Structure 1
Amino acid sequence: MTNAPEKIQDAYGKLPNGWRLEKLKFFADVRNSNVDKTISDDEQPVQLCNYTDVYYNDRITPDLEFMNGSATEGEIVKFQLKRDQVIITKDSEGWDDIGIPALVAQDMPDVLCGYHLSVLEPGVELDGAFLAWLCRSDPLNDQFKLGANGVTRYGLGQYPLKNSYVALPPLETQRRIAQFLDEKTARIDNLIEKKRVLLERLAEKRQALITRSVTKGLNSDAPMKPSGIDWLGDIPAHWEVKRLRFLLDGGTINGAYKPKDQFSPEGVPFVQMGEAFRGVTFDGGTKDRVLASDAEIDKYGLKAGDFLIARRSLVFEGSGKSVRINSLPEAYLFESSMIRIRPFCADQISGFLSYYFQSAVCRAFFLSITKQVTISGIDSRQLKDVWVPIPPTNEASNIWNACVSADRAHDTVSTSIMKSIRQLEEYRSALITAAVTGQLEVA
């Protein structure tokens, strides 16, 4: 047995009789791929198994849609996919995404392991399916993570990969463990998937309730009339329809740009995009503070009932996203990727508007006018031209309260389901580690 460091032995725990703790390089051939995505005329056409193919699949099978590429004869011999190989992610922007494995289900001579991946090809004493499960266990996967170097991007080199320690039972035991985990985790994954589908259905139900409430009202028997807006459809006969510009006090204000030399712990809180859109309301809490004059605070300040609207976003679906400002403990400024709007009589209409901006019809309209470039976005003119159905003040307040109540019920159920999913994921992880380290007896 290799004399493994004490911390490695502690991570694996006391292994059963007949098990060994050895370096991976003695039982598997380890190769980091250098096959890039460039197609060259002087190379042979191939298909490439890329990072996302491994990241999103436990097994690599011929029915996956592989990318077209090209490679030299030497690369084809070295990196063609073979049954029982394990492909792992070796590079990532996130530390947690290092060492994610996928098992190659069968020989695929025309498919090559692509860049940012490593091939682990088991020898005669190591079962590929067992190795794939071992790569998912804490004792081995933690070694991969700790072996990766980088700051903004992490990379796992061959040396730490080859010299990682693996727990090896007899070959027949490896196969029994792999089969056991295939069966057990499939049941857990099926249950997790059902719970995730339930979460999606709940979200759809919430969205439908919000959309119906802010466009049709709470009284299903109320007479209706055409709104005159195709995408809005019919609204209650006693409602009005106005452009957003006529509901705003002071129009639209783009956020402040602040250079780095004005960031100071002595300044006022400065709301960034990620901080603003943590939820559908913002109650405070920022990482940065900036120096600001009274005039800037007056122009870019936030108060209860205001809205911040994403005017540009790296993600298309984020364009036009809104957040309602609640009471804040001090003056806050907001950054230039957002637009502030301040409704007239905010205490009466702001709650209704919050849910209208979240509704399916309004979100669909925002996305329909979004400019799809490198950074997607909408501008102030487009925002001010959005049509808004306006109920009487007391009805708007009732709709807001009904939506808040429904949201609380939705959040209670969703939180319970998400907690259950986390517990199942934790159990799955613990089961894998226990099985591949011999702490769990497998029949």
Structure 2
Amino acid sequence: MKNFKNSGIEWLGEIPEHWEVVKINKMVNFINGYAFENFDFDSTFEIPVIRIGDIQKEKVVYDNCLKTKEKENLKQFLIKDNDILIALSGATTGKIAFCNTCDKAYINQRVAIIRGNLRLVKYYFLTRGFSLLVELACNGSAQPNISTKEIGEFKIPIPPLKEQEQIANFLDEKCEKIQNFIEKKEKLLSLLQEQKQALINETITKGLDKNVKLKNSGIEWLGEIPEHWEVSKIKFIAYVKGRIGFHGLNSSEFQYGEGAHLVTGNDFDNYEVAWDRCRRINEERFYEDPSIHLQDNDLLITKDGTIGKTAIVRNCPNQATLNSGIFLVRAKEKLCFFKYLFYVINSQYFKEFVISKTCGSTIKHLYQSDFHEFKIPIPLLKEQEQIANFLDEKCEKIDSLIAKIKKQIELIKEYKTTLINEAVCGRMDLK
């Protein structure tokens, strides 16, 4: 039976009496990345450069890596097998990637290498204690970031070598099983999302009557549509408006708990606006642009960066408006049912339209003048409602399954964190 002692560190709690507590910089080395310039990159070069956005789900995703030439003076910035990479800034601050068998690649200045011989080291970066360290380092920062010096101060429990091997073997086996479970569930998620997308695509282009006669829509990526349907530009069946600038609005003007709600794309949650997330502005700012004052059943679409993220306005507060980066789309009731239009904008057809208008752009942006020209299939109004009601019912069932699977993934990830915490702190019987 183990005897325990107080580690003196809140996240660790009690640890076996014969274990030590050390700063992690005593066990590993840190290598900060290189500050590449834009002229260092070219798609014809051979060596990927790993940036913070390339660190995803504990792996390096090479698909979008910039490429540079191999240079002798940059040798120290090359990754090696068994390295750990960590993102030092941005939304991914503290995220790590494991380089088990890695390709030749450099790291840029916002990524660091953690290199050491301790087999347990990777698991310390998956504990609640490390998450807390990152949270404290980033707290209050406009741009989240952490330094390797701060990471080096992270205190960890160190068992004797034999126990290190036992714990590492135990966690390797358990975490591999957990990861296999997660990957299977994520694959199922992808299949369900594809099924939902295919259902929307088919229904908004072909309708509900499988025996209806079809005609050529005259639009390449729309294909055939029912013979009695029309095709109309969105500017004729809906009011489309976006904010043009905000006359010098800055974060010091934001209010909390009072004032008009200011909606951004980050406030979209499950196709609705999460009003409690919204920042607030005073009435003077609210009335600067009455053309984008929101009301129930308005559709919102992001038009910058990640284009096409959507929300339906429900339970609209007395005063709500848009920040730049979002289109307000208000269907003309006698011509278009708002929920039908919502499904059109969430179809692959709309995605193809966006690609055609933004292809080749360095900064992705859908212009209002282009969006006005978007042509959509228009059934009779009653048929639009039938299509929307059908899709509501079918998509709700798929969304329910998706939510259930996401919850399973969330729970297994919580279990993994607890398992790692207990094991690396010596509080788990490995038998």
Q: TM-score range by the shorter chain?
A: 0.7 to 0.9
Deviates more, 1:296-305 or 1:195-204: 296-305
Quickly say closer, same or farther: Cα 1:236–1:329, change in 2 above 3 A.
same
Secondary structure (helix, strand or coil) at the match of 1:15 reads: strand
Task: Give the one of 291, 295, 310 matched to 1:303.
Answer: 295
**Given residue 366 of structure 2, which amino acid in structure 1 is its aligned partner?**
I
Query: How far off its partner does 1:394 sit?
Result: 1.6
- Residue 407 (structure 2) pairs with residue 415 (structure 1): no
Residues 89 and 143, structure 2, Cα contact 8 Å, conserved in 1: no
Give % identity: 23
Q: 1:100-129: per-residue Cα shift (whole Å, max 9, x none)?
A: 3636669x9x8776644555554xxxx532
Aligned to 1:33: 32
Identify the residue that residue 354 of structure 2 maps to in structure 1.
366
Alignment of 1:92 with 2:76, yes or no, is: no
Matching residue of 1:255: 243
Counterpart of 1:430?
418
Question: What aligned pairs does 1:29-428 form with structure 2 within 5 A after superposition?
Answer: 30-33=29-32, 35-37=34-36, 50-52=50-52, 55-56=55-56, 68=68, 76=75, 86-89=83-86, 91-94=88-91, 97-98=93-94, 100=96, 102=98, 115-122=109-116, 127-140=117-130, 142-143=132-133, 146=136, 151-158=142-149, 160-248=150-238, 251-255=239-243, 257-260=245-248, 267-275=259-267, 277-282=268-273, 286-292=278-284, 298-310=290-302, 312-315=303-306, 318-319=307-308, 321-326=309-314, 328-345=316-333, 349-370=337-358, 372-428=360-416
Question: Which is greater in Rg?
Answer: 1
1-structure distance, mates of 2:132, 2:208: 54
* CA drift at 1:387: 1.7
Separation in 2 of the partners of 1:339 and 1:411?
25
Instruction: Tell me: CA distance 1:23–1:260, structure 2 relative to 1, closer, same or farther (3 Å).
Output: same
| Cα drift, residue 148 of structure 1 | 6.9
Of residues 127-136 and 411-420 in structure 1, the stretch that sits farther from structure 2 once superposed is: 127-136
Residues 242, 326 of structure 2: 8 Å contact kept: yes
> The residue matched to 2:349 in structure 1 has which SS?
helix
Instruction: Show structure 1 runs of 5+ residues with no match.
Output: none
Check the 8 A contact 2:52/2:111 in 1, yes or no.
no
CA distance in 1 between partners of 2:403 and 2:248 (Å): 39
Instruction: Report the CA distance between 1:216 and its aligned residue.
Output: 0.7
Question: What residue identity is the alignment partner of 2:376?
Answer: V
Once residues 68 and 254 of structure 2 are traced to their aligned partners in structure 1, the CA distance between those partners, rounded to angstroms, is: 51
Alpha-carbon distance, 1:11 to partner: 2.5
Q: How far did residue 191 of structure 1 move?
A: 0.6
Q: SS state of the match for residue 157, structure 2?
A: strand
Report the AA paired with residue 254 of structure 1. Answer: G
Is the CA contact (8 Å cut-off) linking 2:7 and 2:14 kept in structure 1?
Answer: no
Verify the 8 A CA contact 2:196 2:395 in the aligned structure 1.
Answer: yes
The 3 A distance-change label for structure 1 pair 222 and 104 is: closer
Matching residue of 1:20: 20
Aligned length: 415
Question: 1:21: Cα distance to partner?
Answer: 2.0
The AA in structure 1 aligned to 2:305 is: L
Deviation at 1:284, TM superposition (A): 5.0
Greater alpha carbon shift after TM alignment, 170-179 vs 415-424: 170-179
Which SS does the other structure have where 1:328 is aligned?
A: coil
What is the rounded CA distance, in whole Å, between the counterparts of 1:294 and 1:436 in structure 2?
53
Moved more, 131-140 or 388-397: 131-140
In structure 1, C-alpha distance between the alignment counterparts of 2:286 and 2:143, rounded to whole Å: 37
User: 1:357-397: CA deviations, max 9, x gaps?
Assistant: 11111221132123653432222332222222111222111
* Partners of 1:417 and 1:200 in 2: CA distance: 11
Contact between 1:270 and 1:333, CA under 8 Å: does it hold in 2?
yes
* Structure 1 residue 174, shift from structure 2 partner: 0.9
Q: Once the 2 structures are TM-superposed, how far is the Cα of residue 57 of structure 1 from its aligned partner?
A: 7.4
Ranges in structure 2 where 5+ consecutive residues have no aligned partner: none
Shift of 1:294: 10
Deviations 1:183-210 (A, max 9, x none): 1111110111111111111111111111
CA distance in 2, matches of 1:212, 1:282: 27
The structure-2 alpha-carbon separation of the partners of 1:270 and 1:13, relative to structure 1 and needing over 3 Å to count, comes to closer
